[in-house]
Structure 1
Amino acid sequence: MENFIGLLRIRVKRGVNLAVRDVRSSDPYVVVKMGKQRLKTRVIKKDVNPEWNEDLTLSVTEPDRPIKLTVYDHDTFSKDDKMGEAEFEIRPFIEAVHMKLEGLPSGTVIRRVNPCRQNCLADESCITYSEGKIVQDLVLRLRNVECGEVEIQLEWIRIPSTSRSL
């Protein structure tokens, strides 16, 4: 594998106020893409506030490559409708992963990422040291759609053989 840095677990928690694409509701699912990797959650029927709580794991080779998240409405007889998309950077998160953080109290905020034109954040996002792990909660405002947000959490998965070289 070229320049393998590690594994990023993306917990797709929930969608909030997603767009209606069927008669009164939607059957949403999320696709996460990074480079050639493409992962998707299960479809949740007739719910514009779905709770997925599903973990998707990407192998990270290029920390500067953004991750693209797209929400679709599953249709049985026609092409699935897009329900918005968002992009987010993982560089601040990866930089936090590489800091020496042993001895910090659990719950310490390492870094705050503020919403701006270049990102899809709906609110400030905190990168937090929690019980020996580094996590980042993000609320992503979907673009190219009338409404909707997706809440996700990033977590770095330490691989014993590679953690020494980082």
Structure 2
Amino acid sequence: MGILDIEVWGKDSKKREERLGTCKVDISALPLKQANCLELPLESCPGTLLMLVTLTPCAGVSVSDLCVCPLADPSERKQISQRYCLQNSLKDMKDVGILQVKVLKAVDLVAADFSGKSDPFCLLELGNDRLQTHTIYKNLNPEWNKVFTFPIKDIHDVLEVTVFDEDGDKPPDFLGKVAIPLLSIRDGQPNGYVLKNKDLEQAFKGVIYLEMDLIYNPVKASIRTFTPREKRFVEDSRKLSKKILSRDVDRVKRITMAIWNTIQFLKSCFQWESTLRSTIAFVHHKGEPLLYVKCTLFSGNIGLCL
């Protein structure tokens, strides 16, 4: 364990993000399995970050180079396979299996900089576990050659690999994404995956090459299927729905027309454009409100009593 770098970001009303400050925590100095309340002054701006940190060992999570790939060692692979064999189906029910991902390279990425290059790195997410590669600067065909190991808690999870462009103090730019269900993984087969957009609906630009190995206990995996899924700690921000936006715009139009017609009706009554209509309206107004308009706008109600 080493130094944990923390960045604090803010977002204004225009959804622009800005880094407010940074601080560091020496993880090696903290006791394990104990809640540690830390008050950390921010380095680059006034203010303090108050946080609660609990260190819990998590078996199976690691990052290494290709030369020290865990499952490449026959003896280590045999030991891991033995841990998830059928004879151990009733031991540590939360430890379902292990996933090893080799992030080899990417080709033909989008140029995010004015120089026609990018500074790409990869973020890998499986459940609440998140690991990332180093950044390769000024390159559209980066080679990371890193090995990531994740513990499997739910065999129905999906591995998400996102390529970003590092942009200094600003939020990284999106360069493409792939989502791979664990059950679709074929052990030890290098594959090229076409990068897609953020919604995974359309092809983006570029291909990423991954090689994956999955070892798990089928009995534990089956039992975990009937238990609630682990809650995601990192949630995506709510996206703007074009369908909802179109519906709300239509509502505003209809409400605007209703109010306009009401105003024109009242105007005609006061101007006595129709003697009969104006007389009935004012006689009726003595007993109760002349008109009540109830409009539903988005999630609230607007009442107009005339």
TM-score by length of 1: 0.67
Letter in 2 for 1:9: Q
Q: 2:209 aligns with which of 135, 148, 151?
A: 151
Partner residue, 1:101: none
Q: CA deviation at 1:2?
A: 5.6
Q: 2:146 aligns with which of 37, 41, 54?
A: 54
Q: Deviations over 1:135-159 (max 9, x none)?
A: 132211111174111000002468x
Contact 1:7 1:58 in 2 (8 A): yes
Residue-pair matches, total: 123
Q: 1:141 aligns with which of 190, 194, 197?
A: 194
CA distance in 2, matches of 1:91, 1:4: 17
More helix by share: 2
Letter in 1 for 2:194: R
SS in 2 for 1:142: strand
Unaligned runs of 5+ in 1: 94-126, 128-133
**Greater relative CO, 1 or 2 (CA 8 Å, sep 6+):** 1
Partner residue, 2:112: 21
Q: Deviations over 1:49-99 (max 9, x none)?
A: 000000111111111111111000001131110111110111143xxxxxx
Unaligned runs of 5+ in 2: 1-91, 198-202, 222-306
CA distance in 2, matches of 1:157, 1:45: 34
Match status 1:38 vs 2:126: no
- Measured on the aligned residues, the alpha-carbon RMSD in Å equals 2.3
CA distance in 1, matches of 2:182, 2:204: 26
SS in 2 for 1:91: helix
Partner residue, 2:7: none
CA distance in 2, matches of 1:74, 1:152: 21
Q: Deviations over 1:93-140 (max 9, x none)?
A: 3xxxxxxxxxxxxxxxxxxxxxxxxxxxxxxxxx3xxxxxx4132211
More strand by share: 1
CA distance in 2, matches of 1:2, 1:157: 15
SS in 2 for 1:147: strand
CA distance in 1, matches of 2:157, 2:215: 18
Match status 1:64 vs 2:122: no
The 1:61–1:22 alpha-carbon spacing in structure 2 relative to 1, beyond 3 Å, is same
Q: 1:87 aligns with which of 151, 174, 179?
A: 179
CA distance in 2, matches of 1:150, 1:65: 20
Contact 2:194 2:204 in 1 (8 A): no
